[in-house]
Structure 1
Amino acid sequence: MRSTFHSIETAKRSLFTQQATINTIGHNIANANTPGFSRQRVNLVATRPIEAPGYMRSNIPGQLGTGVEFTSITRIRESYLDDQFRNANRMLGDWKIQSETLGKLETIFNEPSDSGIRTVMDNFWKSWTDLSKDPENITGRKIVRENALALVDAFNETSKHLTDLSNDITSNIEVKVSQINSIGASIADLNREIKRLELYGDNPNDLYDQRDYLVDQLSLIGNVTVGKTADGYEISIGSVNLVTYDVLTPITSGQLETEFDAGRLGGEVAGMFTSRDKYVRDYQEQLDAMADTLVNGEFSVTIPAGSTYNGTTLTADRVEVVRGINGLHRLGYLFTNPPQQAGDIFVSKGGPITAASIDLAQAIKDDPMAIATSMRTEIINGANETVKGNNTLANFMASLKDTSFRFSPTSSGNSISNGTIDSFYQSMLGQLGVQTQEADRQAANQSDIVNQVESSRLSVSGVSLDEEMSELIKYQHAYGAAARFMTSIDQILDKVINGMGIVGR
């Protein structure tokens, strides 16, 4: 014999279950635009049926259903797609930083432009050409001096910008280290809270999503490895452990640099190390080599007959190896009495000549007549004097634009060992352009890959409003049907209780 209230219990279970499903669908819809959220589903099962009651085993065929219930609320997530996304995100972070840094380097060199080093150097050589036409002109000498100062400033400022960029990258590395440790602390806290809730038999889906979203953020910064244990996630950056259950082991920039040197670090931090230690350092060294070569680099010059060399008038042309623009300038003579050999044009503010230390000689700053143009002296009225109107040195200086120098070996990133100053600088800019183009291409390609993987992941885990609305209508009708079933049983019981057995009263 069936229980009178059996159907009411069946209807009640259906109402509660459909309501839980509707609430979950509402939760999905509310978080349709929440980053990292995974859609959730209520898992429905038929409740355990019962056999029709009787004194002996019932002869009624089949078992009596008792309704529906939900066993769990789970999130829809594919770990394989998570791994794909994090690997692609790591490479995107690396190339993105490299692309940004190379773009900043292009801005620093600012070529082609009217204010770049190339234009300043062209003006410097041109001023010597103009001076050679009137070697005694004081205005021409002042123009040479001002262009030399402009060249010094261009080297100094470019070097300073490169140093500032390197320091900025170092500061950003420390910021990323702090960010890694902060995210790691949040993951450790979530591990502890999730473990506590799981002990009660719950599925803390929203906390799962928060933890995975933090891991996604971490994957952009470095090469993150996720170990899944009964206690939660174990997180490592490269081979360095960051989180074990609820214990955070803070990472330092030194550890990350060791991981980078070993080739185990990816993401934005790896891009920063590459940018600082490869690109910025390389162009700083090349710029230093360029400045040093201009001042001290060896080249050959043919001194014409009639010129004065080491106090002797040459009777034939003489080929001489000169060390830089300073060595060439020292072959000239000033208009002093008696004639005095010229000094250096460029000096160092301290240490060897670099782009940061190069400076104009103080004597030339004080007096433009300290610039030599003549390479000839002769006895005039019994006195040794510098020949006025001789422009041999000025012509040599102007021709340095097309003179092949021997470059110092510090130019690690430049394949030119012999060439003009202009060709060396052009090769630097060409190298920078190719590197920037490649980094931009790689960053764009990697961005497309990340978007594609994320699209695949969202097709599994993302909330589709159309799908949720369809599900909402389905379960809304199911809830209404269960309510109607409850009403029908109520009417039946009302008839049995209040309407039966009163005939004839």
Structure 2
Amino acid sequence: MRSTFHGIETAKRSLFTNQASINTIGHNISNANTPGYSRQRVNLVASRPIEAPGFMRSNIPGQLGTGVEFVSITRIREQFLDDQFRNGNSTYGSWNVQSSTLNKLETIFNEPSDSGLRTVMDNFWKAWTDLSKNPEDITGRKIVRENALALVDSFNTTSKHLTDLQSDLTSSINTKVSQVNSIAQSIASLNYEIKRLEGHGDNPNDLRDQRDYLVDQLSAIANVTVVQTNNGYDISLGGLALVEGQTPNEVTAADIEAQFNAGRLTGGELAGMILSRDKYVADYKEQLDALADTLVNGEITITIPAGSMYEGNKLADDLPLTVKGINGLHKLGYLFTNPPELAGDIFESANGVGTPITAASIKLSQAIMDDPMKIATSMRVETSNGVAETVKGNNVLANLMSGLKDTEFSFSPTSSGNGISNGTIDSYYQSVIGQLGVQSQEAQRQLKNQYDIVNQVESSRQSVSGVSLDEEMSELIKYQHAYAAAARFMTSIDETLDKVINGMGVVGR
């Protein structure tokens, strides 16, 4: 026998279920612009039907439905797309840092320009050419000195910028490691809270969204592996166990660098920073040091013309000779002193005699700083009435100096193997700038390609998980009508019961 109040219960279930759907749609609409939010849906099922009691079988055909109820509220998300996004995001993060670093390197070298190192070197060679036209001119010597100072300053400044960029990248690595530890702590806390709520039979969709959003942020910093366990997410960063259920494991910058050196940290901003610091910046710093050292001490072959003095003897014929860079050549010249003295070094190391010349340590010799007449131009000495004098008007050394612009040097090898082994100073520097341009162009190309890949995956992910206001409004209208119909059904049952209770059984009263 049917229950008199069966219809009321059916209408009540419909009202509650449709109300839950409307509230969930409102939640979706409210979070349409919330980062990391996944749209949610109420899962509806027909409630368990009933049968009228009987000894052998139902007394009515079929079963009597009892309405609708919702069994869960779930978020719409696809794990495969999450994995694709995180893998692409790690690669994008690495190329983003590399491209940014190479752009900064291009700014540091500032080539081609009127203020770059190449222009300063050209001015240095030109100053020697001008001095060779009037070798006794004190003004010409001062111009050579000032251009030498400008060259030294350019080397020093460029090297300092490179060192500062290395320090900035190291600081950024430490900052990112702190961010990684902070995210790991938050994920572990969410693992705990999600497990606690699931133990009570709840479905913490919003907390899961927060956890996945944190993992997305983590994937931009380093390549991560996520494994779902009974205790939540287990996350590995490179080869490090970062999160184990509800336990975060703190990592250090040294741990991160060890993973990079072992080849397990291959993506993300951290990998890009370490690669940029230890490959790009270190390489260009080393090549710049090799350029400065070779300019001062690199082996060159020159030809001393006949009539010049060499080792106290006047040459009868031209003499091919290998000397050690600008300093070696300059020390073949004579100063206008009484008696004539051989010139000293033009450049020296700021770290002291005997220390290597680098772009950071190169400086103009103190003797030339104090007296520009310590710059030699002549390679001839004549003796008159037993008195030796440096020949004025001789410009052999000044000519040889200006000719060094087109002279091949033997360059010091670098650990990376980049840079040419033999060539002019200009050709070596051009190879450095050319290498930088190619690397920067390649990084920009890779960055653009990876950006397109990540955007494509994110678009696919949003098509699954993102909130569409048009779709939500359509769903809202559907459930609104369903709720109104359930309310009308409740009113009909109420009117029926009113008739039964108050209108039946009163005949004949």
Q: Where does residue 268 of structure 1 map in the other structure? A: 269
Confirm or deny: 8 A CA contact 1:283 1:413 kept in the other structure: no
Report the Cα offset of residue 54 of structure 1: 4.8
Q: Where does residue 477 of structure 1 map in the other structure? A: 481
Distance in 1 of aligned mates of 2:82 and 2:314: 82
Q: What amino acid maps onto 2:326 in structure 1?
A: I
Q: 2:395 aligns with which of 386, 391, 398?
A: 391
Question: How many pairs align?
Answer: 505
Confirm or deny: 8 A CA contact 1:96 1:443 kept in the other structure: yes
Q: Where does residue 348 of structure 1 map in the other structure? A: 349
SS for the counterpart of 2:345 is coil
Confirm or deny: 8 A CA contact 1:286 1:411 kept in the other structure: no
Distance in 1 of aligned mates of 2:384 and 2:119: 42
Q: Where does residue 249 of structure 1 map in the other structure? A: 249
Q: What amino acid maps onto 2:140 in structure 1?
A: G
Q: What TM-score do the two structures reach when normalised by structure 2?
A: 0.98
Q: Where does residue 442 of structure 1 map in the other structure? A: 446
Matched, 1:322 2:323: yes
Matched, 1:419 2:423: yes
Report the Cα offset of residue 433 of structure 1: 0.1
Q: What amino acid maps onto 1:79 in structure 2?
A: Q
Q: Within 5 A, what are the aligned runs for 1:489-500?
A: 489-500=493-504
Distance in 2 of aligned mates of 1:21 and 1:214: 28
Segments of 4+ in structure 1 off by > 6 A? none
Report the Cα offset of residue 167 of structure 1: 0.5
**What whole-Å deviation, never above 9, does each CA across 1:363-384 have from its counterpart, x for those lacking one?**
0000000000000000123310
Confirm or deny: 8 A CA contact 1:8 1:486 kept in the other structure: yes
Report the Cα offset of residue 412 of structure 1: 3.2
Distance in 2 of aligned mates of 1:392 and 1:169: 48
Q: Where does residue 42 of structure 2 map in the other structure? A: 42
Matched, 1:304 2:302: no
Q: Within 5 A, what are the aligned runs for 1:93-492?
A: 93-265=93-265, 266-350=267-351, 351-410=355-414, 412-492=416-496
Distance in 1 of aligned mates of 2:338 and 2:94: 65
Report the Cα offset of residue 256 of structure 1: 0.9
Confirm or deny: 8 A CA contact 1:286 1:413 kept in the other structure: no
Distance in 1 of aligned mates of 2:140 and 2:481: 95
Confirm or deny: 8 A CA contact 1:345 1:360 kept in the other structure: yes
Q: What amino acid maps onto 1:417 in structure 2?
A: S
Greater Cα shift, 53-62 or 101-110: 53-62
Greater Cα shift, 216-225 or 413-422: 413-422
Report the Cα offset of residue 403 of structure 1: 0.5
Report the Cα offset of residue 114 of structure 1: 1.3
Overall identity of the aligned pairs, in %: 76
Confirm or deny: 8 A CA contact 2:419 2:432 kept in the other structure: no
Confirm or deny: 8 A CA contact 1:50 1:63 kept in the other structure: yes
Change (3 A) 1:195 1:66: same
Q: What amino acid maps onto 2:282 in structure 1?
A: R
Distance in 2 of aligned mates of 1:300 and 1:157: 30
**What whole-Å deviation, never above 9, does each CA across 1:458-500 have from its counterpart, x for those lacking one?**
1110111111110000000000000000000000111111111
Distance in 1 of aligned mates of 2:381 and 2:52: 131
Q: What amino acid maps onto 1:384 in structure 2?
A: A
Q: Within 5 A, what are the aligned runs for 1:26-65?
A: 26-54=26-54, 57-65=57-65
Q: What amino acid maps onto 1:115 in structure 2?
A: S
Report the Cα offset of residue 222 of structure 1: 0.5
Q: Where does structure 1 lack aligned partners over 5 or more consecutive residues?
A: none
SS for the counterpart of 2:228 is strand
Report the Cα offset of residue 211 of structure 1: 0.3
Confirm or deny: 8 A CA contact 2:53 2:59 kept in the other structure: no
Distance in 1 of aligned mates of 2:287 and 2:69: 73
Matched, 1:72 2:72: yes
Q: What amino acid maps onto 2:398 in structure 1?
A: A
Distance in 2 of aligned mates of 1:349 and 1:28: 67
Report the Cα offset of residue 56 of structure 1: 5.9
Confirm or deny: 8 A CA contact 1:92 1:267 kept in the other structure: yes
Confirm or deny: 8 A CA contact 1:132 1:395 kept in the other structure: yes
SS for the counterpart of 2:428 is helix
Q: Where does structure 2 lack aligned partners over 5 or more consecutive residues?
A: none
Q: What TM-score do the two structures reach when normalised by structure 1?
A: 0.99
SS for the counterpart of 1:334 is coil
SS for the counterpart of 2:113 is coil
Distance in 2 of aligned mates of 1:415 and 1:271: 23
Distance in 1 of aligned mates of 2:34 and 2:114: 49
Confirm or deny: 8 A CA contact 2:173 2:253 kept in the other structure: yes
Aligned CA RMSD, in angstroms, stands at 0.9
**What whole-Å deviation, never above 9, does each CA across 1:139-195 have from its counterpart, x for those lacking one?**
000000000000000000000000000010001000010000000000000000001
Distance in 1 of aligned mates of 2:97 and 2:345: 42
Confirm or deny: 8 A CA contact 1:332 1:342 kept in the other structure: yes
Distance in 2 of aligned mates of 1:280 and 1:335: 45
SS for the counterpart of 1:241 is strand
Distance in 1 of aligned mates of 2:401 and 2:423: 16
Confirm or deny: 8 A CA contact 2:287 2:419 kept in the other structure: no
